[in-house]
Chain A
Amino acid sequence: MRKWKIISPLAALALWQVLASAGVLGRGTPSPVQVVKGLYTLIATGLPPGYHLQGHLIASLGRVFTGFAIAVVIAIPVGVLMGYANVFKAVMDPLVEIVRPVPPLAWLPLAVVWFGIGLGSAAFIIFLGAFFPVVLNTISGVKSVDPHLVEAARTLGARDRTILARVMVPGALPSIFTGLRIGMGIAWMTLIAAELVGVKNGYGLGYMIMAARDFARNDLLVAGIVVIGLVGFLVDWLIRLAERRLLRWR
């Protein structure tokens, strides 16, 4: 079945090339070949010139991983406690439900006031984007743990802390991974949007495609979009790889 999967992307690519070559798409739309050439320009010359793709990648990934890592480190313990202790859930739930509906980008102006333009403000809104999916999925994962497992652990001598660490966390892990994947997706989306509007100069993939627009280089613009998509796909693939390794027992 594997080989069937490449048919639709290849067909779309071929159609795109044909339409672009025939001039149907208009002057502003580059063909796939032009996009590949643009990709080379991004690596070799950089955009703006001197700002190479590698630098944009490192900057964007650095922001995402900083915000995402902080979100995960806080969200998993909070989620485990909220799923396990009803009192803690009752205390935390209103706060979570009030902050959660605010789109992370709405915090951007305030984040800039707090952290200035740079890693701090970007990481902060990425944190907000990734935190809630991880918390909510951790809670539902903990709630889905078979109560018999908790009872079995208790009769084997386990106390609350052991049950949290050795029953709840591993039991909730499949659901936690779902949260990580959703959270990473939102983090990536949030980052690019933040770089589109918030970063005035320097490095970042979002900034790079805005620069492509300013230079009226649509080949570089589409090449940038392709890079953003590929990186997002790759990061998700890495999480799935970790998931498969850690959840072999399923």
Chain B
Amino acid sequence: MEMNAGNGPALSLRGLSKTFTEQKTGNALEVLDGIDLDIEAGTLTCIVGPSGCGKTTLLRLIGGLEMPTRGEVLFEGAPVEGPGPERGMVFQEYALFPWRTVLKNVSFGLEIEGMPRDEARRKADGYLETVGLTGHYELYPRELSGGMKQRVAIARTLAVEPRILLMDEPFASLDAQTRNSMQEFLVDLWQRTGTTVVFVTHSVDEAVFLGQDIIGLSRRPAEVVSRFKNPLGYPRSRTDAGFIALRARILEYLTEEMSE
């Protein structure tokens, strides 16, 4: 919260709409329709919604990888006009550079900033420690498990010191056990770094485990249909009565919205 106290929310979406035009047919596909949303600095917010509803598009607009058809994305008060290292993205597909070692993946952003090699290496070292990956520096991505790949990707993003972390279903392709431990790891990381996190998932369970705020999107074209405050503290337990109750409430609410 102290990161930009008194300056309003870290992230504001104002009437954000996105329509894609299919190149072959010329058909318009309306994906997002007038999303209004404020996200405070330092919070961990989860965005849930049915698959294909436009959650990923929403995150890509915040990341600057897509431009809105109408409306705007304001990051710390300024409109987003393209991608930038202050808004770090973590992809479901990891997107690690296969020709770079673990260490060189993490130091990529630092190298292109022009940081001297030794310093970049030291800093990358530190971030690999942060994500709990020491001693794997010289491995190539193909030699890593899914969970390790995603830790490297997170370290690579953290290394350029983003002020917001945008995560697009980062744990969706991991096995259940790894996914659970990565969720615990993320909560711990967020608490240690205090970075604002926006986390897109199709899993209500994951959203309740992670989020302070849980934003529910409707079917396409997506609108914000509900916003839940998660009263639970950390660490959370999936067997806790409060956890089960909140999860049931969100599921019920979403199911209702979807069936309309």
Contact = CB atoms under 8 A, between A and B. Distances in A.
Interface of A: 146, 148-149, 151-158, 162, 166-167, 170-171, 173, 247-250
Contacts of B113: 157
B65 interface: yes
Contacts of A250: 98, 142
- Most chain-A Cβ atoms within 10 A of its Cβ — which of B65, B98, B99, B160? B99
A66 B84 CA distance: 43
B189 interface: no
Contact of A156 (B82, B85, B141): B85
Nearest to A157: B85
A151 B89 contact: yes
Contacts of A146: 93, 95
A157 B99 contact: no
Contacts of B68: none
A171 B97 CA distance: 8
A154 B83 contact: yes
B199 interface: no
A168 to B, nearest CB: 11
11 contacts: A149-B97, A154-B82, A155-B85, A156-B85, A156-B108, A156-B109, A156-B157, A166-B112, A170-B97, A171-B99, A249-B98
Given A151-B91, A152-B91, 17 more contacts: A146-B95, A148-B93, A148-B95, A151-B89, A151-B95, A152-B89, A152-B153, A155-B64, A155-B84, A155-B88, A156-B85, A157-B84, A157-B112, A158-B112, A166-B112, A247-B99, A249-B141
Contact of B95 (A149, A162, A170, A247): A149
Given A156-B109, A249-B142, A151 B98 contact: no
B63 interface: yes
A169 B64 CA distance: 24
Nearest to A170: B99
A157 B108 CA distance: 10
Contact of A155 (B87, B97, B141): B87
Contacts of A170: 97, 99-100
A157 B109 contact: yes
Contacts of B85: 155-157
B55 interface: no
B160 A167 contact: no
Contacts, number: 67
A167 B111 CA distance: 13
A158 B93 CA distance: 19
B219 interface: no
A173 B109 contact: no
A157 B160 CA distance: 9
5 closest A-B pairs by beta carbon, nearest first, are A156-B109, A157-B85, A152-B95, A148-B95, A154-B83
A232 B250 CA distance: 69
A21 B65 CA distance: 74
Contacts of A148: 91, 93, 95
Contacts of B89: 151-152, 155
B97 A167 contact: yes
B63 A155 contact: yes
Nearest to B63: A155
B151 interface: no
A153 B91 CA distance: 12
A250 B100 CA distance: 10
Contacts of B160: 156-157
A238 B95 CA distance: 32
B140 interface: yes
B202 interface: no
A156 B91 CA distance: 13
A156 B97 contact: no
A151 B64 CA distance: 10
A166 B112 CA distance: 9
Interface in B155-206: 156-157, 160
A170 B157 CA distance: 20
A232 to B, nearest CB: 29
